Structure 1
């Protein structure tokens, strides 16, 4: 089973050039870190059967953290959006959970910090996630 995570940021003032670069850099860094972690775990997952035996690279089970400009948005406050399919339909829950934790505990928090004053909408297939200020991460309830 696979799910998708969706995220978007809104603010009355648009992104500055510096914020735009920072958002792109964070998305790239977080994608590299996530893929590296999957690459490290992949042999053990394959050995246990947690991922299909024919999976050769992390990109086959993870899309990373893309961010897209909201150029065509109906909402003029939308700064950017992104979505990522999480895991491969034949992977075990551990693989999906690891990816979800990376997004909710690290990646999206870093993006939030890069865009002060933005309102965020983050959901997994229609289920809204709650930002836990105390912990600096999204809660998976």
Structure 2
């Protein structure tokens, strides 16, 4: 009886001996998983943010092009507006292109016309360092803006 009481007291003070080191093992297994999940969330956040910035740049480019009176000026204005918008948002593209459809400038006065700007930006993801994640992602956005129906065109 004394022996059983002594054993119970020792176990109560020391705790169960089978769980020794289990917290260290759990941490060693779960820490890389948690870090990988955090890096994946950062990557998705950056891609989503860059996609919104590219969409905003397409909108700015189309609006700037629609305010010009001729197709050549519209193209130059759209390029400048897209570059300014992307720089303002802090988006750096490995490669980018701005395409502006200025065919609306060649329609007769009184006809409804639009200018469409399409922007393609290859966002860099290589600095995240998550294995299996692509080094870059190409984002494309398009936006149309109406031309004034009765304003003189080219």
TM range (shorter): 0.3 to 0.5
Q: TM-score, normalised by structure 1?
A: 0.33
Q: Report which of the two has the higher share of helix.
A: 2
- Higher gyration radius (CA): 2
Give the TM-score, by structure 2 length: 0.30
Q: Which has the higher contact order (CA 8 A, sep 6+)?
A: 1
